[in-house]
Chains A and B, each alone.
Chain A
Amino acid sequence: MSDHTAPALQTPSQTVGPFYGFALPYAGGPELVPGHHPRAIRFHGTVTDGAGEPILDALLEVWQADESGALSRELGSLDRDGFTFTGFGRCATTIAGHYTFTTLKPGAAGTAAPYILVTVFARGVTHHLFTRAYFAEDSELHATDAVLSAVPADRRNTLIAVSEGFVGGAESYRFDIRVQGENETVFLDFDA
């Protein structure tokens, strides 16, 4: 069979629904590094809907560069060895609509300021939503970041994770996601 057939039309997206429980979450999914890693950060927040209510059946995925800004090509994101940083994580929200990842603060990949790519799936979300979490302390780099520059200035704050200081031995960053409504998170459409 030939390697390259013909241009084909995309398969449409459908909601993840509420009942992905035994399929998608997996042991260690939210822990890109173990909590005792000396530079582990807590990356967490609440996902809310247009009424400000927590979305308790959301599934979040993160994908990010390592501390040096490099992207992993290592296998093992599902079956972690506890040492290899693969850059991928998955977390279902709790009944309070809350998620928590344990990870490393990424370095800058390419010309972008450091960020974590976040993907939101949930019942009622017909097509997953992409957003980015930047870090407040990198504000100098934000001025020249291509994506932040494309976002209306008064909405950029929705893409910034804010440090809450050290909590339980790890620096804690809060990144709340508001799917709809007041201070609605900026979601990105990659012209891919």
Chain B
Amino acid sequence: MSQTPSLRPGTGAASQNEITAEIEEIAADAAARVRAGGSPELQPRRDYAPYRSSLLRHPTHELVRVDPEEVERVSPAFGHTDVNVLESDLTIQHAGEPIGERMTVSGRVLDGEGRPVRHQLIELWQANAGGRYVHKRDQHPAPLDPNFTGVGRVITGDNGEYSFTTIKPGPYPWKNHVNAWRPAHIHFSLFGTAFTQRLITQMYFPGDPLFALDPIYQSIADADARARLVGQYDHSLSVPEFSLGYRWDIVLTGPKSTWMESEDADE
């Protein structure tokens, strides 16, 4: 990093053009590494300067690679005693109907071998249709929706499937840089059958004009890997007179899958 950009949230003074230039420079570097025979970067870089919050929050030492042991090879057990089936419908948690485009998000959770991840916990959270979280530190002056908290849970079924009913979140501004806007997204938290499969990620929506501008989405250098975060409109999931459908399948690591190195091995 040539110079130290602003490190604190809320103080990002860089312009979008500067951030975009940084994004493009890293993308070109990653592409050159692949052309030189390197592995594509399927996970985000931990040190990704365009995302300013990563600057002081990435380890500077390389991670120590070890074999998982018993504790890592199993996972906490969650079940229907932990999660009420009604928690997968984010539109019924209050007295009235939430504002926004009602949608159904469904898909399957698989491991790296293509096997269904059964009976495991998925948690999600999101902004409302106006791009506002129900969170005291979210000061975006968009209206809170009294009928939408934006939080849901579900346990995957026998075939690894899940389904949520919710409303489409709006894009929102953040203070990474001047005029920074996050593409609309839903946060997903997932457990697999081993704790090493733990994953927190975000689902995006197809065709979002903000993709190229967003340092969080772009922190994954490989374009195909990034595209795996985008849910697809699926008319067969749309519910007549009720909601539009999106499909998003999620793949956790498998027991034999290769963990891609995403950090520069420069020490």
Q: In the complex, which residues of chain B have a beta carbon less than 8 angstroms from the beta carbon of A5? A: 110, 114-115
A-B contacts counted at CB < 8 A amount to 268
The verdict on A165 contacting chain B, using a C-beta distance below 8 Å, is no
User: A89-109, CB under 8 A of B: which get 1 and which 0?
Assistant: 000000000000000000001
User: A111-143, CB under 8 A of B: which get 1 and which 0?
Assistant: 110010101011111111110000000000000
**Docked-complex contact A7 and B187, CB < 8 angstroms:** no
State in angstroms the CA–CA spacing of A71 and B66 once bound together.
20
Least Cβ distance of B116 to chain A in Å?
7
The verdict on A12 contacting chain B, using a C-beta distance below 8 Å, is yes
User: A17-55, CB under 8 A of B: which get 1 and which 0?
Assistant: 111111110000000000000000000000001110101
**Docked-complex contact B159 and A127, CB < 8 angstroms:** no
**Docked-complex contact A3 and B116, CB < 8 angstroms:** yes
Picked from B42, B51, B58, B198, the residue with its CB within 8 Å of the CB of A9 is B42
Least Cβ distance of A8 to chain B in Å?
4
State in angstroms the CA–CA spacing of A115 and B152 once bound together.
32
**Docked-complex contact B77 and A73, CB < 8 angstroms:** yes
| Residues A191 and B65 in contact in the complex (CB < 8 Å), given A11-B228, A24-B189, A179-B57 | yes
**Docked-complex contact A20 and B125, CB < 8 angstroms:** yes
**Docked-complex contact B251 and A117, CB < 8 angstroms:** no
The verdict on A72 contacting chain B, using a C-beta distance below 8 Å, is yes
Q: In this complex, which of B59, B61, B249 has the most chain A Cβ atoms within 10 angstroms of its Cβ?
A: B59
Picked from B45, B77, B259, the residue with its CB within 8 Å of the CB of A190 is B259
**Docked-complex contact B57 and A49, CB < 8 angstroms:** yes
How many residues does chain A have at the interface if contact means C-beta atoms less than 8 Å apart? 79
Least Cβ distance of A91 to chain B in Å?
15
Q: In the complex, which residues of chain A have a beta carbon less than 8 angstroms from the beta carbon of B162? A: none
Least Cβ distance of B188 to chain A in Å?
9
State in angstroms the CA–CA spacing of A1 and B159 once bound together.
8
Q: In the complex, which residues of chain B have a beta carbon less than 8 angstroms from the beta carbon of A72? A: 76-77
Contact segment of B78-86, B96-104, B234-242? B78-86
**Docked-complex contact A77 and B216, CB < 8 angstroms:** no
Q: In the complex, which residues of chain B have a beta carbon less than 8 angstroms from the beta carbon of A191? A: 65-68, 259
User: B220-258, CB under 8 A of A: which get 1 and which 0?
Assistant: 100011101100000000000000000001111111010
**Docked-complex contact B149 and A22, CB < 8 angstroms:** yes
| Residues A147 and B69 in contact in the complex (CB < 8 Å), given A88-B76, A125-B58, A180-B59 | yes
User: B43-70, CB under 8 A of A: which get 1 and which 0?
Assistant: 1111010011111111111011111111
Q: In the complex, which residues of chain A have a beta carbon less than 8 angstroms from the beta carbon of B61? A: 155, 184, 186-187
Q: Which residue of B lies closest to A108 (CB)?
A: B70
**Docked-complex contact A192 and B113, CB < 8 angstroms:** no
Least Cβ distance of B191 to chain A in Å?
9
Picked from A11, A49, A74, the residue with its CB within 8 Å of the CB of B199 is A11
Q: In this complex, which of B72, B135, B136, B197 has the most chain A Cβ atoms within 10 angstroms of its Cβ?
A: B72
Picked from B9, B64, B250, the residue with its CB within 8 Å of the CB of A11 is B250
State in angstroms the CA–CA spacing of A23 and B44 once bound together.
23
Least Cβ distance of A112 to chain B in Å?
5
Q: In the complex, which residues of chain B have a beta carbon less than 8 angstroms from the beta carbon of A19? A: 125, 127, 133, 135, 137-138
Picked from A3, A8, A128, A186, the residue with its CB within 8 Å of the CB of B64 is A186
**Docked-complex contact B66 and A11, CB < 8 angstroms:** no
Q: Which residue of A lies closest to B225 (CB)?
A: A12
User: B116-154, CB under 8 A of A: which get 1 and which 0?
Assistant: 100001011101000001111110000000000111000
Least Cβ distance of A85 to chain B in Å?
11
Q: Which residue of B lies closest to A47 (CB)?
A: B57
Picked from B54, B64, B124, the residue with its CB within 8 Å of the CB of A151 is B64
23 sampled A-B residue pairs with Cβ under 8 A:
A4-B115, A10-B42, A13-B200, A14-B187, A14-B202, A16-B200, A19-B127, A21-B133, A63-B76, A76-B82, A77-B77, A78-B78, A109-B69, A112-B70, A115-B71, A126-B44, A130-B196, A146-B66, A179-B56, A181-B60, A189-B65, A190-B196, A192-B196
What 8 pairs between A and B have smallest CB-CB spacing? A124-B53, A23-B125, A124-B57, A88-B76, A192-B196, A189-B63, A126-B44, A50-B56
